[in-house]
Amino acid sequence: MQRIGTHQLYVGIIMFILGNTPLYELGVKARQNAPLAMLVGSAAGLLLAGMYLWLYRRAPEAGLTELYRLHFGMWLGSAIALMHATEQGYEAMNQIWNYADLTSLTLLGSAPAWLIKLIACLLSTYTVIKGVEVLFRVIELLFPLTLASYLLIAAMLYLNKLPDWHLLMPFVGFDTIVRAAIPQIMVFPFGQIITFLAIWQFANETCKVTRTTLLAYMTVTVMLVYGNAVIMSVLGPQMSSGTFVPLLEVVQLIQLGGFIERLDIIVTLLLFFGLYVKLSVLYMATVLLIQPVLRCSWKACAWGVGGLLFAATFVERNYAVHIWNAVHILMPYNFVFEMAIPAVMLVIGARRVARKAAMNRTALQTK
């Protein structure tokens, strides 16, 4: 069985939640207090993460599909797993859209979108076929690059004296902040950690999973809140809510030594790394959910899901439709899978599930 180490899990969670988040300036409804909204959203998301960890602890060796089956029985559990797989797949497809959109916006105005989507799909399919171990090693390699680049960008912003912290004042009022944070920020990006319910089973040190996850969660919260604050302090509330990718807007302002400019292209590459990680982990989770239900080979399942994801990107006509769907159709789904079902699972007798899991384990051992 493949295993991922503690460090890989830590880095993986950070990179996953970071993923496509820098594309958006979240919490702009709270205007200049967006960073606070971020913080509140993260705190709310922490409750969700705690819930998922609780569920995980009930059967650490079980995948998400098995977890559903343990709680809801064979048939209902499998059905829920398949539905959850569709939701995860949809979110993965979201990332493919992001790839195509970001590319046509910043790098290649003329390249056909299907080609970009195809390349994105192929890269992730290749990773998923190689398995969880390789995916998390790749993330481990990308992490230092990403971190160093973001730190460098932050340093350059300061060298250019761009951030103006007065733009974060004044306080807008507590209920505005909470309304901006919950449910939106809680669900995206923080609630997405539910994907790791499918991944945690591979951790080689079960006892450290909770600590590592929470630590990674804190780290990424700090990174996101700080990033959010920097963008807000450079652009101000009006600009940050009006532009397509505020981060790119910010780095375009950097000019150093007369020849370092137009860093947005470099940052686009960074965003691609994030998108790749998010797409691959979601894709991996989808396959992990589906494979035990269909019982086909891993490779066939990965190719199948990859093909479906690629095909599905053509169902929606353009990015506007896609965004509309994401907000109006995906959101309720998110609620169901990130909150409703886990809550129900939490309520369903903990003791019964634990006993079942133990029985399964002994059954496996006696085999």
Partner 1 sequence: MFSNKEKGPSGPKPDSGKPEPLSTNLGVNIKMLTAKLGESSDFVIRALRSDAMPGVEMVIAYIKGIVEEDAIHQNVINPVMGWSAPPGKSSWIETLRQRVITTGSTKQVSMQEEAVNALLDGQCLILTNGFREAIAADTSGGEQRSVAEPNTQTVIRGPQYSFTENIATNIGLLRRIVRSADFRLRSYTVGRKTRTTVGLVYMNNITDLHVVKEVEERIQAIDIDGILESNYIEEFISDQTYTPFPTMMNTERPDTAATYLLDGQMIILVDGTPFALAGPVTFFHFFRSAEDNYQRFDISTFLRLLRYGAFLVSMLLPSLFIAITTFHQEMLPTPLLISLASQREGIPFPALVEALLMELTFEVLREAGVRMPRAVGPAISIVGALVLGQSAVQAGLVSPAMVIVVSFTAISNFVTPQMSMASASRLIRFTLMLLAGMLGIFGIMAGMLFLIIHMTGLRSFGVPYMAPFAPVKRETWLDMLIRLPWWARVFRLVAVSSVNPRRQRGHRPRHQKE
Closest distance between partner 1 and the C-beta of residue 211, in Å? 17
Q: Which contacts (CB < 8 Å, 24+ apart) does range 106-110 have? A: 106/245, 106/248, 106/264, 106/265, 106/268, 107/265, 107/268
Candidates 152, 155, 261, 315: give the one binding partner 1 (CB under 8 A).
261
The smaller minimum CB distance to partner 1, of residues 6 and 360, is found at 6
Residue with smaller CB distance to partner 1, 226 or 272: 272
* DSSP letters for 31-87: GGGHHHHHHHHHHHHHHHHHHHHHHHHH-TT--HHHHHHHHH-HHHHHHHHHHHHHH
DSSP secondary structure letter of residue 19: T
Under the criterion CB under 8 A, does residue 123 sit at the interface with partner 1? yes
Scan residues 67-106 and list those touching partner 1 (CB under 8 A). Answer: 103
Please report whether residue 259 would count as binding partner 1 according to CB under 8 A.
yes
User: In sequence order, which residues have a C-beta less than 8 Å from that of residue 35 and are 6 or more positions away?
Assistant: 27, 168, 225, 226, 228, 229, 232
> Where do the H-state alpha helices sit in 295-327?
298-312, 319-325
Minimum CB separation from partner 1 for residue 135, in Å?
Answer: 9
Q: How far is the CB of 15 from partner 1 (least distance, A)?
A: 13
> Which of 74, 76, 115, 315 is the binder for partner 1 (CB under 8 A)?
115
Which is nearer to partner 1, 95 or 184 (by Cβ)?
95
Alpha-carbon gap, residue 74 to 224, rounded angstroms: 39
**Segment lying near partner 1 (by CB under 8 A), choices 20-28, 56-64, 110-118, 156-164:** 110-118
From 75, 258, 351, 365, residue interacting with partner 1 (rule: CB under 8 A)? 258
Residue 260 has phi, psi (to 5 degrees) of -90, 105
The minimum distance between CB 253 and partner 1, in angstroms, equals: 15
Residue type, 106: T
Cα–Cα distances (Å) from 252 to 185, 219, 236, 237, 255, in that order, read: 26, 27, 15, 18, 8
Judged by beta carbon, residue 135 or residue 197, the one nearer partner 1 is: 135
Partnered with residue 203 across adjacent β-strands are 4
Residues 6 or more apart whose Cβ sits within 8 Å of residue 38: 26, 27, 181, 185, 221, 224, 225, 228
* Closer of 5 and 246 to partner 1 (Cβ): 5
167 lies in the binding site for partner 1 (CB under 8 A): no
Residues 199/284, Cβ–Cβ less than 8 Å: yes
Give me the least distance between CB of 98 and partner 1, in Å please. Answer: 13
Among the listed ranges 24-32, 107-115, 241-249, 336-344, the one in contact with partner 1 (CB under 8 A) is: 107-115
Q: Note whether 262 binds partner 1 by CB under 8 A.
A: yes
**CA-based max dimension of the chain:** 71
Q: Would you give the binding string for partner 1 spanning residues 267-296, x where CB under 8 A is met? A: --x--xx--x--------------------
Query: Which is closer to partner 1, CB of 85 or CB of 267?
Result: 267
Is there a contact between 112 and 301 (Cβ–Cβ < 8 Å)?
no
Among 116, 157, 301, 345, binds partner 1 (CB under 8 A): 116
User: Is 15 an interacting residue with respect to partner 1 (CB under 8 A)?
Assistant: no
Q: Nearest distance from residue 269's CB to partner 1, in Å?
A: 5
Q: For partner 1, which is the closer residue by CB, 255 or 360?
A: 255
Q: By CB under 8 A, tell whether 126 contacts partner 1.
A: yes
CA-based nearest residue to 229, from 11, 14, 52, 28: 28
Q: Which residues bind partner 1 (CB under 8 A)?
A: 5, 7-8, 103, 107-108, 111, 115-116, 119, 123, 126-127, 130, 134, 137-138, 140-142, 144, 258-259, 261-262, 265, 269, 272-273, 276
